[in-house]
Structure 1
Amino acid sequence: MIGKTAVAARLLRYTEKEKAGGTEPRVLYSEGIRCRVPTAEREFAAVRRMHGKQGAKRKVPAKYELPEPGEVATHVRRARPNGRKYWALAAGSAAATHVRREGDGYVDEIQAVHVIVSFGLDEVNPDDPEQVRRAFEFVVTMMTGLFPGVQMKCVGQADSASRAFHVHGVLQAVVVERMEVDGQIWEAGRKMSGALTDIGRLRERADNFIKQRGVEYGVEQKLPSMTKQKAENRSTRDRRMATKGQTSNHDIIRSAFEDSMDDPRSVDLDGFVEVMSENHVTVNLRVSRAGKPGEKHALSYRLDEMKTPVRGTSLGAHYAFDSTIQQLEDNASGQERERRP
C-alpha cells in the first residue's frame, strides 16, 4: 500500500510510538537508509532545507463537478493507454460531463511517502524471530532497490489485529541522490511522483524484484500479477454488492461479455455486437482521429437502465477494444481465447 503526508515528522514518530495498553513491543526491527533511525526526523528536514522544499506550498488543485442548473459542461474524463485517467476539455464527438472549478488557496507540499509491505500469517509467523528477521531484511533490500536514491526509515511491526508482520517505509518525498527508475532519471532535489508513487507501477516493480531476489529470502508473490489485476477493474460497488449476493450493472455486462464471446457468431465485431444486444447490452464503438495517424478505437457498454455507458477500459483491460478484437480473432481461428480473470 502507499500513501502521502504533508507532515513527515508526525509519520516518523507514529511508526515507533507504543500503543496504549499494548503488552508486546511495537517495533520489532528498524533501519535507516541514507539516514539514522534516532535522528531521521531532523535529517529529513535537513534535506528539505538543502533543496528549498522546507515549508513549501502548492496551489489547491482544481475540482471537476457535475454542472449546476444553467451551467454548461466543459470537461470529460479520459484514460491514457496505461489506464491512468485524466480530465480534458471535451472535443470532437466527446460529450462534456463536468465543469472545472479552480482550487482556492494553498496547502502544504507533500513531505513524505508512506509505503507498507505486509506478509500473510502463512508466510511469516510473527512468533518466529528468524522468519521475522529474514522478512524485514528482504523488505529493506527491496525498498533500497525500488527507491535507489531515496532517504527512508523502515520499521517492522506485528501489532495489527491479525498480528501479520508488516513493514512501514517512511520515504523522504525529495530525492536525495541522482537515480534511474524505469528508464527515467531523477535528479537530487526533485519531488517523488509518477513511477515512484503510482501504486500500480510500484507493485509491478515489486513483483519483478520478488521474481529476481525473492528466493534468497524464501519470499514469493502469491497475489495475481498487476497485468491480471488490471484485466478486471472491480470497483468498491462491485465488491459490496457481491458480498450481499447482488450483481452490479458492471458485473452484469462482464457476464454478458463472456457469454457472448462463447457464442459461435462472435468471430468479428459485428457478430459480437449482435449477440451482446440479445443479452441486453448495447455496444458502442468510438473512433477518434478517424483516418489519421494514431487513429484510436474504444468500446463502451450500456444496459437499458443505465443513463450513461461504461467504457471498456473502466471494466478492465479484458473488455477494452484491443483485447476484444484479439479474443474475436482467436474465436475465428479456432484458438483458445483469453478468459475472464
Structure 2
Amino acid sequence: MSEQTGNAVEGRTQFVHGGRRAGRVAAALASGAAAVALLPAPAAQAMTPGGIINGGRMCAAGRQVTGGGAAVVGEGSADFGTSIEGAEVRAHFDHTANAVARLWATTIRNTGGASHQIGLYSVCADGLTGYQIASKDVTVAAGAFVRDVAACPAGTVALGGGATDTPYSSNQPASTDRIVQESAPGTAGSQSLWLTALRNNDTVAHTIRVFAVCADAPAGYQVAHKDVAVAAGGFVRDTAPCPAGAVVLGGGAAVVGSGSADFRTRVQETAPGVADGRSVWLTALRNGGTAARTVSLYAVCAGPLAGYEVVRSDA
C-alpha cells in the first residue's frame, strides 16, 4: 500500500497514486460476498423505503471525533439502495464532565424498496494534538455539482472529512436531496486535504460546507488504499484495510486516473469496521456514469491511540 498524492487543478484536486499499481485493481464485490463486521454490534435504527436519517452518537466528553459514517447492518453484503447525503462534526459542552463532547453526524437516505437497519458511527480518540476542523463554503446551484477540497493547516494531516449544508438543520426537507459522489483524503504538494464531490438535486441553490478533520500526524499515520474497477452502471461494496495492529480513523472513496469531473458516482455507505482481525473502512459506491471508472477506497490509519473507540448510535 502506498500513500496517495494529488495535484491541485483550477481549484479542484486530481487524485493520482504513487508507488506500484500492479496487482492493486480488484473486482467489485458481488451481492452475498463476505460481510464486514461493523463495530460495535448493538443498536441500529430502522429506515423505511424513501426514509432519511440524520444523526450519530457522541464520543465521551473530552474525546475528539476523527471520522464516522453510516451503513446497513445485519443483512450481509449487497446493494441496499441507500445514499449518503452529507456529514458534519457537531459539538456541545457537557457541563457534568466540564468538557466538550463531539459526534459525527451523517445523513443517509433509503432510495430502495425495502426497510433497512442503519448503524451511525463516530470514531473517537484522546490526545490528538493540533486537532481542528478546516472548512470552506461553496455555493452549488440547483441541479449542479461541486468537486472541491478543504485543506488542513500546514504541518497537520487529514483524519476524516465530508460536506453538509450550512447553516445546518437536522430537520431538512426531503427536497434537499443531496448526493455525496466522492469523499476521500489527498494531498496537494505538502498540504493534506479532504476532497468531496457532491450533487445538489434540489430546486434551489445551497451553500455547502466542505470540511477536513485535521491534527498533528499521530504515530503510525498513513493512508491505505485499494483500487477497484467499477463498470458503467456498476456497484462496489468493499473495504480498504489498515496494517495489522493499526486503527482506522476515517475513510472514503474517489475516482482516480480520470482527472477532475462529474463522474456520476454515488456513495451509498461509508463506515468503520473489522475484517480478519484488522481495522478497515467500508465503502459502498455506485457508478451511475456511462464509462467504467477506477475507484480508490481509502482508510486513514494510525497506531493504537489512547481512548480509541468506535461508537454506534440508533438515532
Using structure 2 for the length normalisation, give the TM-score.
0.23
Q: Which has the higher contact order (CA 8 A, sep 6+)?
A: 2
Looking at secondary structure, tell me which structure has more helix per residue: 1
Find the structure with the greater CA-based Rg: 1
Q: Given the two structures, how large is their TM-score scaled by the length of structure 1?
A: 0.22
